[in-house]
Amino acid sequence: MAKQKKSNITDITTFKNKIFYTKTDTETRELGKSFAKILKPKDIVFFNGNLGAGKTTFIQGILSFFGIKKFVRSASFMLVSEFETKVCPVYHLDLYRLDENNTLDLGIDEYLFGDGISLVEWCDRLKHYNIKQRWEINIDYTDNGRKIKIERFL
């Protein structure tokens, strides 16, 4: 089993194709906050995991790094939440209530391919977009917390 990585390192290789373990929501948010340090405008981050696995908790950490102080909820009922930051806009897309056929007509291209950072929950709804350059974060429950696998696709 991989040893848990400390979340205070900001080098891209710290996250590229690595597995992390967190025991609490606070640790998951801290990992998200640390991961956010390597994000840049135009990055797309896909999130996979069951309902309640911790996708939004990780995203809360990312947004915290960018100075978003308010509590971030799942965007399930709004589809997209937009956050203005000093670096660039950050978009939190939650596609849970959609199927992949519905996403074509939504006009989400401006979020995915604009100048901001896109954080996408339930990314399997975007198969037809065939987005090759992305980060992908898979979050699973374990007996002791969460297993978080972070991959980089180019």
List, for residues 109-143, the tens digit of each pLDDT value.
788 888 999 999 877 767 777 788 999 999 999 88
How many independent structural domains does the chain possess?
A: 1
Which pLDDT score is estimated for 6? 46
Domain annotation covers residue 8: no
Domain, as residue range, for 27: 16-153
Name the nearest CA neighbour of 59 among 122, 126, 152, 128. 122
Mean pLDDT of 23-29: 96
Domain annotation covers residue 85: yes
Cα dihedral sign for 102, 97, 119, 87? positive
Q: Which residue has the tokens 């606070």?
A: 26
The structure tokens listed for 40 are 């840049």
Residues 55 and 47 sit within 8 Å (Cβ to Cβ): yes
Domain annotation covers residue 2: no
Q: Can you tell me the distance from the alpha carbon of 22 to that of 129, in angstroms, rounded to the nearest whole number?
A: 31
Question: Across the chain, what does the average pLDDT equal?
Answer: 83
Mean pLDDT of 38-64: 93
More confident residue, 71 or 69: 69
Domain annotation covers residue 123: yes
* CATH number of the domain encompassing residue 103: 3.40.50.300
Which pLDDT score is estimated for 9? 47
